[in-house]
């Protein structure tokens, strides 16, 4: 499969992040939330894994961009996943909300976008996309939050048991696991039927996304 494009216009990307971020946060983020947000922000690719294990893993591009930085209720990120050869048509679009719990863990809540999600594809290139949107317009995926904890040089966590409902591919519920390091993210999403049979998602292990750039792609 072709290598994910790596040409990024840094100056333009920084300008893009200014509108996505708005003003500085009213209150600084807790240290772990701020670090996790930095690690999760940018463009990632599973190309190397797809070459190492063809037939088991696809060449996927993952983009995560901070939005609404002026808010003081944690960090918000817009997220896209797409096959590298069809980057303009992501198959998954979400908004994540990262906040710290009293026990020190970080909860990553998951939200879906209003209306036709594809209208937000590549939204970091269009200043108006999230400027006209607020968290109240999003739909929470109840039960699908991931609780992450620092473990040495990474953050790791998962959804809770069978709490995350899913109807994709005949599933009854879904599970997600995540392992986040400064230059990589591993995710393992799986769907299960009511009898516990896995009906979608990788059976070979988590996807490994390597950070390609600190910025989103502009081409």
CB atoms near residue 12 (< 10 Å): 12
Structure confidence at residue 120 (pLDDT): 94
Q: CA triplet 103, 104, 105: central angle to 5 degrees?
A: 95
Binned average pLDDT, 10 residues per bin, the chain of 219 residues: 35 41 58 96 98 96 95 96 96 97 96 95 90 94 98 96 96 98 98 96 97 91
3-state secondary structure of 40: helix
CB under 8 Å to 22, separation ≥6 — which residues? 68, 69, 70
164 φ, ψ (degrees, to nearest 5): -90, 105
Structure confidence at residue 128 (pLDDT): 85
CB under 8 Å to 27, separation ≥6 — which residues? 72
Structure confidence at residue 132 (pLDDT): 86
Structure confidence at residue 191 (pLDDT): 98
Long-range contacts of 23-31 (CB under 8 A, 24+ apart): 23/69, 23/70, 24/69, 24/70, 25/69, 25/70, 25/71, 25/72, 26/70, 26/71, 26/72, 27/72, 29/74, 29/75, 30/100
- pTM, rounded to two decimals: 0.86
Beta bridge partners of 149: 156
The continuous run of DSSP H or E covering 52 comes out as: helix 47-52
Structure confidence at residue 45 (pLDDT): 98
Q: Are 216 and 43 in contact (CB under 8 A)?
A: yes
């Amino acid at each position: 499969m072709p290598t994910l494009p790596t040409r990024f216009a840094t100056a333009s990307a920084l300008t893009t992040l200014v509108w996505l971020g708005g003003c500085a946060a009213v209150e600084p983020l807790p240290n772990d939330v701020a670090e996790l947000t930095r690690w999760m922000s940018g463009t990632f690719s599973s190309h190397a894994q797809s070459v190492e294990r063809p037939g088991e893993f696809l060449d996927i591009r993952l983009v995560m961009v901070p939005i609404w930085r002026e808010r003081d209720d944690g960090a918000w990120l817009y997220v896209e996943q797409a096959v590298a050869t069809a980057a303009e048509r992501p198959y998954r679009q979400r908004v994540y909300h990262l906040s710290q719990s009293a026990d020190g863990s970080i909860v990553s809540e998951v939200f879906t976008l209003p209306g036709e999600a594809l209208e937000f594809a590549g939204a970091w290139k269009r200043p108006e996309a999230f400027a006209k949107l607020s968290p109240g317009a999003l739909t929470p995926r109840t039960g699908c939050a991931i609780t992450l904890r620092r473990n040495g040089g990474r953050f790791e966590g998962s959804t809770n048991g069978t709490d995350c409902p899913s109807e994709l591919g005949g599933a009854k519920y879904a599970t997600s696991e995540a392992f986040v390091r400064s230059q990589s993210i591993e995710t393992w999403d799986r769907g299960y039927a009511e009898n516990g049979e896995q009906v979608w998602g990788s059976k070979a292990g988590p996807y490994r996304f390597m950070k390609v750039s600190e910025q989103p792609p502009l081409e």
